[in-house]
């Protein structure tokens, strides 16, 4: 962890399994990045701003590493839609400032 950064932790959701938690963590990281926060996570999917297609591929990769392709599909689609909505909101705010 960086010396000049104070980490802040909060439980914002609870999931029944590790796969759901990893997907949610990745989606929340993307929402934070889109909001302009700098994250120092080590996973590229949680430290670099991704497009919607890249986010879908990152989620598919998490599932593949977990050995499943179908667990929590509905949840991740909802979260991906939230990320798209947040990105669109951010784009509109940027356009309004310009």
Q: What is the mean pLDDT of residues 64-89?
A: 62
Q: What is the pLDDT of residue 17?
A: 85
For the segment 35-46, the average pLDDT, to the nearest whole number, is 84
Number of alpha carbons in the 13 Å side-chain half-sphere of residue 91: 7
Instruction: Specify the pTM.
Output: 0.57
Tokens of 80: 């991906």
Instruction: Using the Cα atoms of residue 21, residue 80, residue 12 and residue 36 in order, give the sign of their dihedral.
Output: positive
Cα dihedral sign, 69-75-80-83: negative
Q: Count CB atoms within 10 A of the CB of residue 19.
A: 19
């Amino acid at each position: 962890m960086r010396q000049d950064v104070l980490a802040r932790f909060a439980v914002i959701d609870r999931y029944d399994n590790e796969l759901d938690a990893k997907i949610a963590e990745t989606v929340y990281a993307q929402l934070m990045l889109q909001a302009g926060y700098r994250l120092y996570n080590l996973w590229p999917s949680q430290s670099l701003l991704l497009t919607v297609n890249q986010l879908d591929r990152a989620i598919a990769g998490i599932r593949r590493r977990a050995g499943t392709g179908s667990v929590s599909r509905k949840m991740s689609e909802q979260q991906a839609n939230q990320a798209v909505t947040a990105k669109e909101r951010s784009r509109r705010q940027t356009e309004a400032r310009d």
